[in-house]
Amino acid sequence: MAGPRGPRDSRQVSIRAAIEPDLPSSNAVVSGERSVSAYTSQLSTPSCPTMEDMCCLNLMSPSIKDLEQQLQEASNGARAEDGTTQAKNLGVGVKELVTAMSRLEGLGLSRMDIKLPKICVLGDQSAGKSSLIEAISGIRVPRSAGTCTRCPLFIKLASSDNPDSPWQAKILLRKSYEFRRSLRRPSKTVKFFEWDKKDSPVTTVFETVDDKGQLADAIFRAQLATLNPGLDPVTFGPSRPLEDGPHLQTKFSPNVVCIHISEPGLPNLSFYDLPGIITQVEDATEDHLVRFIKNLVTDYVSDPEAIILLACSMEVDMAVSNAAIIAREEGAKPRCIGILTKPDRRPRRQPAEENRELKAILSGQAFQLGHGYFVTKQPSSEEVHLSHAEARKLEESFFRTEPWSTSLKEFSHKFGTPNLQEFISRKLAAQTLHALPQIRQQISDNLEDVNAKLANIPKPETRNAMGTVFEVLRTYSQRIQKEMEGDIPYNGWHLIWQSLRESFSRQLSSMRPILVIRGIHDEDLFRHAQIQGGTGPPEGTSGGIIVLSSDDEEPQESPTKKRKMGTPSTPIMTQTPAEVSTSQNIKSEGPKNSKDPLAKRFELDVLREDLNKMSSSKIPGGVNMKAVEHFIRGTTEHWKEPVHRFYDGLEETLKQHLRKIFNEALQKWDSSELYRVSWSIISSMLSMQLSEQRITMAGEILNDEKEVYVFNKEVLEFYKSKRLNAYKQAWYNTRMKMYFKGMEETTGKQLSQIERERHVRKDEALKKLLNAEPYEREIDVMATICAYYDMASGRLHDAICMRVESKIFKTLRVSLQEELSSGLEIYGENAHDKCIELLAEDVGRERVRQFLEERKSKLLEGEKLLNELNEKYKGEDSSSTTGTSPAYSVDEEMDYS
């Protein structure tokens, strides 16, 4: 039963000792180097665990309890003399964690932005890295032909559960990149020239080895298979003889040779052995290989989840270590474990000086690294024939000599490969435990994202293909029906249609005829009143114009030249450049005229002259109605322009609206024949119906309107009365303004508007003068012309819009699904096969879905792996998580400084 504890009980202290400061890891990467190379990318360090992380750890408390015990035992035995026993003690419980990380790596989860722990080893050329790898792993790697550094090696060590199990190695080829021979020059922007990254890695078994003596040859063959990607790996199998100096299709490969080794008592670790960094090549045409290797190594070393094993030979000055320079430039020093190799070959100096420098390094006072330093002694080139056990005994004997067993005895726990193995294993366990909650969350986030994308790319239906097609068509057709009916909330098209009709009406209104209401008989009213007592204007004076058009226009004061009497009368209707006006009120022309350039313009004096010429009556002042009809036809002759603009706008907006809803309804099938053919049917149907409306229906209506027709005279009289009153009021206001302007010019006295109105009320002669109507006939005719225009333009608008609603909208509302079904030919004996063809996708979309399906499978497998790990280590003592003290105090038992 867990009870209260003090701030630091003995169990916590021992666990703290077992899990050293800074970040641990689960995979080890080994990188050699042939010359200095600098990296520029800076790495971020993992943050401390949150309360959510702790909760996730507590969910695995029984397993952690077991691991705590193993880590505690390993820590207590860290200074024991039997390194093999330490490895055995540590490997029993940590194996599942290492195996889990290895399997997650094999699934390619690290390529989904899921950070998996690693241990990376850097070292200069001749720093003893190969010997170090062999010492940690207990295997021999190929040392000839140079192939061991031409592609990454992943070496995984796992302790067998059965103590009687034999040693075994399984070699696999992990293919994450496809090789594509290129004739182009290598580009500096290409990461791996001639290699394309696969959607997900593919792992295949190459060979299983039961004899340690055959492993080096098997690794050599596996690398040849990797460096010849165009050949079947079977070509390099154990039963096939190899040629001397075998041909290589490529010098280096980013694909990985995996070596999984199991044996009782092995430490549970994983290593990546990477190609050594180079700065130059013999053949200038292969300069790109320098960048290739640098990019490859950087991919592994720059992982912020990685701990770096920095191998430094003691026979050279550490200050000039190229590997240390790389670690510093990559920001990896806080994550480094220093490994001092070749201690028997350090330069001979005074013993006190030698020991002082070494003590400074081992105590962290010089060349500081985040996890300190270890010292190992590996066999020399003359001793490479020694077995692993013999090499460890030789190493043990070496560290029993001076000064290692005397003046440096306080650092004895940092001497020897077994101590290094045990330390790395503890880091591996702690790093994995720390990473599990984050990995689980990242897997969950990726699954959510993949599922959301797959929801929009469903598998092609085969069993119920007909049902799927009919349901899609029904859903879309019903939505369009609601849009055409305009019911809320499906009133989007109703609002668009209302806007289209209003725009059409405004365009017709902007073409309403314009009356220039001031004539020559309206000039010099003040002078006429002074001379003749207000009986009338003088003859022969020049007149001005006032256009009755939009609401905000003021009378134009400047006079115009009198039209010569001999000028032909036909050009009485002229065009005035103006903007579209929406008002039907009549005002004077001004600088803000908004009329359509095609609107017809009438002047009073010209209109009078033309009426006189066209009159068939012998009585002066008569009006020939044929002349009026002639003028009316002139005002409507350009109606085809706004009609065509209306249909253009209708076709564009209707197709856009239908396409928007179509995309929403068929989003899941947007790469299928169903999508392509269905929209083609809809688009063709709309184009055909709109063409019929535009050419046939609208053409007939426009032809009808070319003839003047009035049956309901009351409506015409209503429009005329309204227009006539507006004309007369505007004309009266204009004459009054002209009178007082003349008076002000003559007398020099200006009157306010109130004074002007008072003067008119008192002066009956002036009032009579202003009310005189020398153009009464012309104004009456103009009112008739404009009244007819208002009535006929409204009639045209309604006729066009009614035809659209009764033909096009009704078809969409009632017959759309039938039109689609018929056009898709999904009736009859072959309907099922036809529906399957319609739902078939293009190759690109199918490839995307397959990629997502494969990624989902990998993620689910990773999630299952973590769940199984959790279930496996749920012990019987589950009460450890419910006591007063937490099952695992991450913040006290791990140091992230």
What tens digit of pLDDT does each residue of 623-635 get?
888 999 999 999 9
Residue type, 258: C
Beta-carbon contacts of 241 under 8 Å, excluding residues fewer than 6 positions away, are: none
Residue 250 has pLDDT above 80, yes or no: yes
Query: Is there a single domain that holds both residue 196 and residue 292?
Result: yes
Query: Is residue 286 domain-shared with residue 340, that is, in the same domain?
Result: yes
Give the start-end residues of each E strand in 195-249: 195-209
The CATH code of the domain that includes 129 is 3.40.50.300
- What is the C-alpha to C-alpha distance for residues 649 and 651, in angstroms, rounded to an integer? 6
pLDDT surpasses 80 at 544: no
Q: What's the whole-number mean pLDDT along residues 457-463?
A: 72
Comparing 557 with 518, which gets the higher pLDDT? 518
Q: Examine residue 474 and state whether it is found in any structural domain, yes or no.
A: no
Mean pLDDT of 240-247: 69
H/E run at residue 308: strand 306-313
Segment (H or E) for 515: strand 514-516
Binned at pLDDT 50, 70 and 90, residue 95 comes out as low
**Residues 483 and 442 grouped into a single domain:** no
| Share of residues in the chain with pLDDT > 90 (%) | 29
Residues 207 and 268 in one domain: yes
Tokens of 740: 């007082």
pLDDT per position as a tens digit, 18-47: 333 333 334 444 444 433 233 223 323 333
Please state the rounded mean pLDDT for residues 761-779. Answer: 81
CB 427 within 8 A of CB 24: yes
In the sheet where 256-262 sits, what is the strand order? Answer: 195-209, 168-179, 256-262, 153-158, 269-277, 28-33, 118-123, 306-313, 336-341, 373-375
Residue 195 has pLDDT above 70, yes or no: yes
- Residue at a domain's end among 824, 845, 865: 824
* Residue 683 to residue 644: CA distance in whole angstroms: 19
- Position 612, amino acid: N
Provide the residue range defining the domain that includes 118: 10-448+874-893
Q: Rounded to an integer, what distance in angstroms lies between the CA atom of residue 29 and that of residue 154?
A: 8
d(CA 727, CA 518): 11
Selected residue with higher pLDDT from 88 and 281:
281
Using an 8 Å Cβ cutoff, are 339 and 307 in contact?
A: no
Sign of the CA dihedral with 786 first, then 789, 790, and 791 last = positive
Q: How confident is the model at residue 803 (pLDDT cuts 50, 70, 90)?
A: very high
Q: Is the peptide bond before 4 cis (omega within 30 degrees of 0)?
A: no
Tell me, yes or no, whether 773 and 705 share the same domain. yes
Determine, yes or no, domain membership for 681. no
pTM above 0.85, yes or no: no
One domain for residues 363 and 507: no
Q: Give 218's pLDDT tier (boundaries 50, 70, 90).
A: very high
Distance separating alpha carbons of residues 410 and 363, to the nearest angstrom: 10
The number of angstroms, rounded, from the C-alpha of 441 to the middle of its chain's C-alpha atoms is 22
In a domain, residue 242? The reply is yes
User: Average pLDDT, stretch 611-616?
Assistant: 83
CB burial of 102-140 (b: ≥16 within 10 Å; e: otherwise) equals bebbbbbbbbbebbbbbbbbbbbeebbbbbbbbbbbbbb
Whether the CB-CB separation of 38 and 91 falls below 8 Å is answered with no
Of 792, 824, 856, at which residue does a domain stop? 824
What residue type is assigned to position 27 of the chain? N
Q: What is the pLDDT of residue 50?
A: 36
Q: Is the pLDDT of residue 7 over 70?
A: no
pLDDT at 102: 74
pLDDT confidence band for 684 (50 / 70 / 90): very high
Q: Above 80 in pLDDT, residue 404?
A: yes
β-strands 514-516, 547-548 pairing = antiparallel
Distance CA 181, CA 369 (A): 43
Question: What tens digit of pLDDT does each residue of 841-853 get?
Answer: 766 676 787 788 8
846 inside domain: no
Cβ atoms of 525 and 734 within 8 Å: the answer is: no
Greater confidence (661 vs 127) lies with: 661
Q: Establish if 80 belongs to a structural domain.
A: yes
Q: Are residues 399 and 507 in the same domain?
A: no
pLDDT in tens, 807-843: 999 999 999 999 999 999 888 778 888 888 888 876 6
CA–CA distance, 501 with 460 (Å, rounded to integer): 43
The reported pLDDT for the residue numbered 123 is: 75
Cα distance between residue 127 and residue 313, in whole Å: 5
pLDDT for residue 411 is more than 90? yes
Which of 200-204, 567-571, 765-769 is least confident? 567-571
pLDDT over threshold 80, residue 645 = yes
Give the pLDDT of residue 491. Answer: 92
For tokens 């994308």, the residue is: 453
Contact 358, 323 (CB under 8 A): no
pLDDT band at 16 (very low <50, low <70, confident <90, very high): very low
| Judgement on whether residues 444 and 487 belong to the same structural domain of the protein | no
Number of domains in the chain: 2
C-alpha radius of gyration, the chain, whole number: 48
Residue 53 shares a structural domain with residue 165 = yes
**Residue 433 — pLDDT band, cuts 50, 70, 90?**
confident
Same-domain check for residues 517 and 430: no
**Same-domain pairing of 435 and 504:** no
The pLDDT of 327-333, averaged and rounded, is 82
Q: Domain for residue 609, yes or no?
A: yes
Q: Nearest to residue 179, comparing CAs of 164, 161, 193, 165?
A: 193
User: Across residues 76-83, what is the average pLDDT?
Assistant: 42
Last residue of a domain, one of 796, 824, 852: 824
Provide the 3-class DSSP secondary structure of residue 125.
coil
Tell me, yes or no, whether 509 and 439 share the same domain: no
Spell out the residues 6+ positions from residue 428 whose beta carbon is closer than 8 angstroms to its own: 24, 25, 26, 94, 97, 98, 117, 119, 268, 269, 270
Lowest pLDDT segment from 424-428, 430-434, 587-591: 587-591
8 Å CB contact between 862 and 443: yes
Kindly state the average pLDDT of the residues 320-347.
84
At 374, is the secondary structure helix, strand, or coil?
Answer: strand
Query: Partners of 773 in the beta sheet?
Result: none
> What mean pLDDT do residues 419-437 have?
82
- Here the contacts of 73-81 (C-beta below 8 Å, separation 24 or greater) are 74/18, 74/422, 74/425, 74/426, 75/14, 75/15, 75/17, 75/18, 75/426, 76/14, 78/17, 78/413, 78/419, 78/422, 78/423, 79/412, 79/413, 81/396
Examine residue 315 and state whether it is found in any structural domain, yes or no: yes
Range name among 309-318, 497-506, 697-706, 812-821 with the lowest pLDDT average: 309-318
Give pLDDT tens digits for 856-882. Answer: 998 999 888 888 877 776 543 333 333
Q: DSSP secondary-structure letter at 841?
A: B
Distance (Å, whole) CA 373 – CA 364: 8
CA torsion sign for 630, 636, 641, 644 is negative
Residue 678 has pLDDT above 70, yes or no: yes
**Could you tell me how many residues make up the chain?**
897
Q: Per the domain annotation, does 187 fall within a domain?
A: yes
- C-alpha 630/C-alpha 608 separation (Å) is 15
Which residue in the block uniquely carries the two structure tokens 């003067």? 759
